[in-house]
């Protein structure tokens, strides 16, 4: 990961399997570095190039982890998840040095407080941290006396999260659960990465009647996609206001499953 950050302060990342989808005018004029399945292009001070690329992408290519733009062409939307999987596997060990851990923990506290407020302070039996990463929520849960389950697609991140004390679900378990088992699910800095519809629908499947999914929407990225998916499943959706946080985390939304 250090090599990637030393290569350029801002990179456009492309999965090597989809390199042909990048225009030649972009690839021919830019320095690049390959790490595993990821090809990184230096886009520092390249606003014009990014502006030209954005209409060709499935979204407006928001910057993630403060350093990276993700190349997901409109013609191959499925490649986004392949790229994210490769990126998190590559960055897992250094992840907490790339992001702002205390800002993330502050957001997790806010999400857990929203859950507590919704259930009027009653003990919530089973809570899932969806997209738990390296387990930053474990410290917050310990402070609040809460037991958390965690789920993440990345094997290296799951291993690190388990070391922090989260009870982990692997994808095979997550995808094969057919009964509602969780009272609440929170998603911290997850929705702007556009989780797959399959994952969102499965998230709803494992949520108990009367349960809630809460998450922050950084710069409102992913709000339309998540709201559309959950509301098709029958969710009641509303923005959560009066959330007291130390940092700005975007808007907060709650999706409630009917009793």
Asked if residue 83 and residue 126 are part of one domain, the reply reads no
What's 132's domain CATH number? 3.40.50.150
Asked if residue 246 and residue 120 are part of one domain, the reply reads yes
| Sole residue written with tokens 């994952």 | 199
Over the chain, what is the mean pLDDT? 94
Asked if residue 131 and residue 14 are part of one domain, the reply reads no
237 has a pLDDT exceeding 80? yes
Asked if residue 251 and residue 132 are part of one domain, the reply reads yes
Q: Give the single-character DSSP code of 217.
A: E
258 C-beta neighbours (distance < 10 Å), count: 9
Rounded Cα–Cα distance for residues 178 and 152 (Å): 18
Residue 5: pLDDT band with limits 50, 70, 90: confident
- pLDDT at residue 38 in the model: 96
* Structural domain harbouring 58: 2-91
pTM over 0.85: yes
Residue 9: pLDDT band with limits 50, 70, 90: very high
140 has a pLDDT exceeding 80? yes
Asked if residue 140 and residue 18 are part of one domain, the reply reads no
Residue 213: pLDDT band with limits 50, 70, 90: very high
Asked if residue 217 and residue 114 are part of one domain, the reply reads yes
Rounded Cα–Cα distance for residues 134 and 93 (Å): 9
Asked if residue 44 and residue 133 are part of one domain, the reply reads no
Asked if residue 14 and residue 131 are part of one domain, the reply reads no
Rounded Cα–Cα distance for residues 110 and 216 (Å): 9
- pLDDT at residue 115 in the model: 97
Rounded Cα–Cα distance for residues 90 and 30 (Å): 22
Quick one: what percent of the chain has pLDDT higher than 90? 84
Rounded Cα–Cα distance for residues 86 and 80 (Å): 10
Asked if residue 237 and residue 124 are part of one domain, the reply reads yes
Query: Mean pLDDT, to the nearest integer, of 169-195?
Result: 95
Asked if residue 135 and residue 69 are part of one domain, the reply reads no
- pLDDT at residue 87 in the model: 94
pLDDT digits (tens, 9 = 90+) for 45-60: 899 999 999 999 988 8
Residue 66: pLDDT band with limits 50, 70, 90: confident
- pLDDT at residue 123 in the model: 87
Domain count of the chain?
2
- pLDDT at residue 247 in the model: 96
């Amino acid at each position: 990961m250090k090599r990637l950050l030393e290569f350029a302060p801002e990179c456009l990342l492309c999965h090597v399997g989809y390199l042909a989808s990048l225009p030649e005018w972009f690839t021919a004029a830019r320095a690049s570095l390959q790490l595993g399945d990821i090809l990184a292009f230096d886009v520092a001070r390249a606003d014009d190039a990014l502006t030209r690329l954005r209409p060709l992408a499935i979204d407006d290519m928001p910057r993630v982890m403060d350093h990276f733009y993700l190349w997901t062409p409109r013609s191959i939307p499925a490649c986004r998840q392949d790229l994210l999987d490769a990126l998190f596997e590559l960055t897992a060990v250094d992840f907490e040095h790339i992001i702002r851990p205390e800002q993330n923990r502050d957001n997790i506290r806010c999400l857990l407080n929203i859950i507590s407020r919704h259930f009027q302070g009653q003990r919530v039996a089973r809570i899932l941290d969806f997209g738990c990463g390296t387990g930053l929520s474990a410290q917050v849960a310990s402070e609040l006396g809460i037991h958390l389950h965690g789920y993440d697609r990345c094997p290296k991140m799951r291993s690190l999260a388990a070391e922090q004390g989260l009870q982990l679900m692997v994808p095979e378990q997550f995808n094969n659960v057919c009964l509602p088992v969780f009272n609440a699910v929170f998603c911290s800095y997850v929705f702007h990465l556009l989780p797959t519809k399959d994952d969102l629908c499965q998230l709803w499947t494992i949520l108990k009647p009367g349960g809630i999914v809460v998450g922050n929407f950084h710069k409102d990225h992913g709000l339309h996609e998540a709201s559309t998916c959950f509301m098709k499943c029958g969710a009641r959706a509303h923005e959560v206001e009066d959330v007291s946080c130390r940092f700005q985390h975007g808007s907060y939304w709650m999706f409630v499953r009917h009793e």
